[in-house]
Amino acid sequence: MDISGMIRDKKVLVTGGTGTVGKKLAQRMLKLDAEVVRIYSRDEHKQFAIQEHFTYHGLDMKRMRFLLGDVRDKERLRRAMEDIDIVFHLAALKHVPACEYNPSEAVKTNVIGTQNIIECAMETGVSAVVYTSTDKAASPTNTMGASKLLAERLISSAGQWKGPRKTRFLSVRFGNIINSRGSVVPLFGKQIARGGPVTVTDPAMTRFFMSADRAVDLILESLAISQGGETFVFKMPVLRVGDLARAVIENSGNDVEMSMIGLRPGEKMYEELMSEEESVRALETDALFIILPYGNDRLEYQHYYDNARVTAAGTYSSTDTEVMSLQEIKAMLNESQFNGG
């Protein structure tokens, strides 16, 4: 697949572009010779910080644009999307407890904000919209997951009512990003620096994890093969939270205690990346599952994706996947440039 040719000389908008994956994605767009990369977010301080970061690393700031705005503001969003070729929609409220206590805010950003993206993309002639979702959208038990699932359905259905417009809409779904802002790894590091204890909800809890660079790879691979309307679900490594905490502690060279604090509101002991209901309309490759829009025949779609096969019915859960060893977790932490100190 020619990902370079797909991005070269294109004008790109990244909503939520100051987040961990958004920043990596913007960097990749510059390296792939996008003509313009617009970062759209509501936090001026993070925009300033990312400008400093990119300048320090010698990136071409002449091709960067930094736009303050919220996906809830449709008029501002439409202006930001003018003359754009590809939209990567990463802006969202993602913290489970915060969404649980403020569900109306989660709906405004995650659901209404996504509908605004869809409508503005159609109005401005965008060629493709890529929505980034979460494992918590599969069989959701909390507000954040439910709002992200509804946003996925909005993206999938957009292809059915877009009329003659050529915009492709697709979703990508993955789990936790290692060392991302707000994740447990930086929290563990701060707790170790204070002398502990490292607080763990439950050591036996399992989660899907991947690096931000790998997430960007899969976002671009999905865009390259999408026919429109799919939800791409990446097969991710699984770890136990207790093992993750132990790996961070050992990498830091310190000896601190772990303390179990129990599940937070809306949390569960495992995560699912795909529900059984979704599996019956899914194809898969060695790297990912491809959940097709409602009403599409899997056998008719199969030839669009290299080495795709029909998926067996069932859930894809962190309880059914072999967990990473302690050494594998340490290697992933080192790869993400986190040493626990």
Query: What are the backbone dihedrals phi and psi of residue 289, each rounded to the nearest 5 degrees, phi first?
Result: -100, 150
Catalytic-labelled residue, pool 94, 136, 148, 330: 136
CA distance 271 to 138: 8
What is the pLDDT at residue 338?
A: 45
What is the pLDDT at residue 161?
A: 85
CA distance 210 to 197: 25
Q: What percent of the chain has pLDDT over 90?
A: 73
User: Does the pLDDT of residue 180 top 80, yes or no?
Assistant: no
How confident is the model over 144-169, as pLDDT tens digits?
999 999 999 999 999 888 888 899 99
**Cis status, amide bond into 197, omega within 30 of 0:** yes
The CATH code of domain 3-176+210-235+272-315 reads: 3.40.50.720
How confident is the model over 71-106, as pLDDT tens digits?
999 999 999 999 999 999 999 999 888 999 999 999
Distances in Å between the alpha carbon of 15 and those of 2, 69, 280, 324?
24, 9, 32, 32
Query: What are the backbone dihedrals phi and psi of residue 3, each rounded to the nearest 5 degrees, phi first?
Result: -70, -35
Is residue 62 among the annotated active site residues? no
CA distance 220 to 216: 6
Close Cβ partners of 182 (under 8 Å, ≥ 6 residues apart)? 94, 95
Tokens representing residue 44 in the block: 């001026």
How confident is the model over 204-219, as pLDDT tens digits?
999 998 888 989 999 9
Tokens representing residue 137 in the block: 């959208």
